[in-house]
């Protein structure tokens, strides 16, 4: 039996692809799930969601978005989580 070879170090992960406008800065949290990407900008109180190449911006008010979960496995609806619990996109104001 041969001795094990030393493990090589993994390369650090690169920065995530920046798909939101530059004027938004860096998001407080971002991620993707089931073909949808999201980025939350705490300082600007904005949540940006990209689905099927279409970018939508929402005003989050006093919600501090921390993550996302699929609301119903049979559809493409999602719910975001904040300090107030679950937040559906239909509860947030659209920004032009």
Per residue in 8-26, pLDDT tens? 887 776 666 789 999 999 9
Q: Is residue 12 part of a domain?
A: no
Provide the number of structural domains found in the chain.
1
Range of the domain at 31: 27-95
Distance CA 69, CA 56 (A): 18
- Residue 87 is assigned to a structural domain of this protein: yes
Q: Around 79, how many Cα atoms within 13 Å sit in the side-chain half-sphere?
A: 10
Residue 60 included in any domain: yes
Predicted pLDDT of residue 10:
77
Residue 91 lies in a domain: yes
Cα–Cα dist 81/70, whole Å: 11
Give the strands of the sheet with 29-33, arranged side by side.
29-33, 36-41, 46-51, 54-59, 93-95
Residue 23 has a pLDDT of 93
- Report the 10 Å Cβ neighbour count for 6: 6
Is the pLDDT assigned to residue 61 strictly greater than 80?
A: yes
> What's the pLDDT at 82?
92
Whether 6 is covered by a domain: the verdict is no
Residue 88 belongs to some domain of the structure: yes
- Residue 53, pLDDT above cutoff 80: yes
- Looking from the CA of 62 toward its CB, the CA atoms found within 13 Å total 3
pTM metric for this prediction: 0.77
């Amino acid at each position: 039996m041969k001795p094990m070879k030393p493990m090589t170090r993994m390369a650090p992960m690169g920065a995530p692809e920046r798909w939101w406008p530059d004027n938004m800065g860096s998001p407080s949290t971002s991620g993707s799930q089931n073909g949808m990407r999201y980025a939350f900008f705490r300082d600007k109180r904005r949540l940006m969601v990209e689905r099927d190449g279409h970018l939508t911006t929402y005003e989050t008010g006093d919600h501090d978005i921390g993550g996302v979960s699929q609301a119903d496995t049979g559809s493409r609806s999602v719910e975001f989580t904040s300090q107030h619990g679950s937040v559906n996109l239909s509860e947030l104001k659209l920004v032009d």
